[in-house]
Amino acid sequence: MTLRALVLTGFLVVFAALVAVEAQRGGPGKPDPASDPFVGVTTDGTVQTGLFEIRSTGVSTAPVMKAAEAFLGSLTPAQRTATTFAVDDIEWRQWNNVHRAQRAGVRFKEMTEAQRTAAFALVGAGLSARGLEQTRNIMRLNESIAEITNKFEEYGEWLYHITVMGEPHATGPWGWQLEGHHLIINYFVLGDQVVMTPTFMGSEPVFAEAGKYAGTRVLHGEQEKGLAFMRALTPEQQQKATLEAGRKMANKAQGQAFRDNLQLPYAGLPAAELDARQRALLLDLIGEYVGNMAEGHAKVRMQEVERHLEHTWFAWIGESGPESVFYYRVHSPVILIEFDHQTPVAMKGPREPGRFHIHSLVRTPNGNDYGKDLLRQHVASQRHAYAIPDR
C-alpha cells in the first residue's frame, strides 16, 4: 500500500469514528431536543390520539413522593439547585447512554453515604425489587468495565446522576430521572399514575467473570425469553417475524437517545396470528421489562398493554439458535420494546455484535414518553398559568 493510500485510509477511519461519536452525542444526523418539538414515537409521524387518559389507578404513589422529598432534603442548597428542574423542562429529553455524555443533576460519586442511601430509596420506591437489583447490577458492571479497561475516569459504579423534575406532589405532576452509562430511567408521576419511559438498560459486559463484582449478570431474562418466544413460533411465523435473516452483523436498535420522534412502521408478525400459548409467552416477555416497575404500577401497565395486544407486532433480526446473536422488538400503540446484541465499544474483540454487550429500551409511543400526553391534558384541564411547550 502506498503512503498516500495509508494516509487516506487513516483519515477515513478517524472520520468514521468522529461521525459515530457525534451520532451518539446527538450531533449531525441526530435531532437536538431543543430545536425538535416533541411528537413522540409514531408509525408515520401522526400521533394516534385517545390512548391515554388521566384517571385513578388505585395504586398509591405516596412512597415515591416521600422518598423524593427525603432525597431532596438530604442535599445541600447547591446540590438541590443543580438537581431540580421544572416539570416540563427540556432536561427530560437530554438523556444519553454514551459514557462520556455531559449530564445534569447530582452525581452518586459526589454524594455522601446518607445521600446515596436516600437516592437509592427514591429509585427503589419506584421500582420492583428485581428492577432495583438490575439497576444496581448495571452500575456494578460499569465498575467491571473500568477494571477491565483501567479507565476509571470514564467508567465506574458511581458515575450516575439523578435529577428531579417539578416538586414532589400528591396530585400534581412531577418526576425524576436516573441517567448514566447504560442506564436511563425516566419516571413521571401524576396523582397515582406513573409513566416510566423511556427506560434504557444495557451493559458491556453483561456478566462479570472476575473483579469486585464477579458473578454479576444482567439482562439474561430479556435475552432468553425473547429467544424462547421466537423459537415457540411455527416456521411460517418465524419467517414472517424475521426482518433480516442470517448472521446479525450490525447494531439495529432504533429508539435510543435523541430519537423521541422516531417514525417506526409496524413490521414482522402480528400478535393477532398467535395462538393462546404463544400469546401467553409474548405477555411474559413484555412483563420481563414492565416488571422493573413497582408491582402495582406494573400491573396497571400490563393491563394497558393487553388492551392493545391485537395490534401488537413482533419483529426479529438474526438467527435463532441457542447461542445466536439477535435483535427483536415488540411494538404496539402503547409500548415499544427493543433488545439488541451490540458490537463491542470498550472491550476487545471482533467488531461485530455479541452476547457480551446488550442494549434494551422501553418507550411509550404516541406522545406519552415522559408522561407528556398526561401532562398536556393536566395543564389543559387545570388552566395553569404556564403553558407546556412542545419540546
Query: pLDDT of 169-205, one tens digit each?
Result: 999 999 999 999 999 999 999 999 999 999 999 999 9
* Per-residue pLDDT at 16 exceeds 80: no
pLDDT tens figures, 234-264: 999 999 999 999 999 999 999 999 999 999 9
Q: Higher-confidence residue: 286 or 25?
A: 286
Do 211 and 66 fall into the same domain? yes
* Per-residue pLDDT at 297 exceeds 60: yes
Residue 239 domain-assigned?
yes
Do 178 and 239 fall into the same domain? no
Average pLDDT on 285-295 reads 98
- Ramachandran region, residue 355 (left: φ > 0; alpha: ψ -120 to 50; beta: rest): alpha
Bridge partners, 336 (sequence order): 331, 363
Band of pLDDT at residue 383, cut at 50, 70 and 90: low
Band of pLDDT at residue 34, cut at 50, 70 and 90: confident
pLDDT tens figures, 55-79: 999 999 999 999 999 999 999 999 9
pLDDT tens figures, 367-381: 999 999 999 999 999
Q: Cell 452518586: give the residue.
A: 108
Do 298 and 196 fall into the same domain? no
Residue 39 domain-assigned?
no
- Supply the pLDDT for residue 3: 40
pLDDT tens figures, 72-128: 999 999 999 999 999 999 999 999 999 999 999 999 999 999 999 999 999 999 999
Do 80 and 178 fall into the same domain? yes
Band of pLDDT at residue 14, cut at 50, 70 and 90: very low
Reported pTM: 0.91
Residue 11 per-residue DSSP state? H
Return the number of other C-beta atoms located less than 10 Å from residue 42's C-beta: 18
Return the number of other C-beta atoms located less than 10 Å from residue 130's C-beta: 13
Query: Domain range spanning residue 327?
Result: 220-370
Residue 352 domain-assigned?
yes
Do 210 and 224 fall into the same domain? no
Residue 3 domain-assigned?
no
- Supply the pLDDT for residue 216: 98
Residue 157 per-residue DSSP state? T
Bridge partners, 284 (sequence order): none
Peptide bond into 198 cis (omega under 30): yes
Do 366 and 229 fall into the same domain? yes
* Per-residue pLDDT at 1 exceeds 50: no
- Supply the pLDDT for residue 30: 58
Q: Give dist(CA 199, CA 197) in Å, integer.
A: 5
Band of pLDDT at residue 35, cut at 50, 70 and 90: confident
Residue 201 domain-assigned?
yes
The stretches of 150-271 forming alpha helices (DSSP H) are 220-232, 235-241
- Supply the pLDDT for residue 254: 98
Average pLDDT on 306-333 reads 98
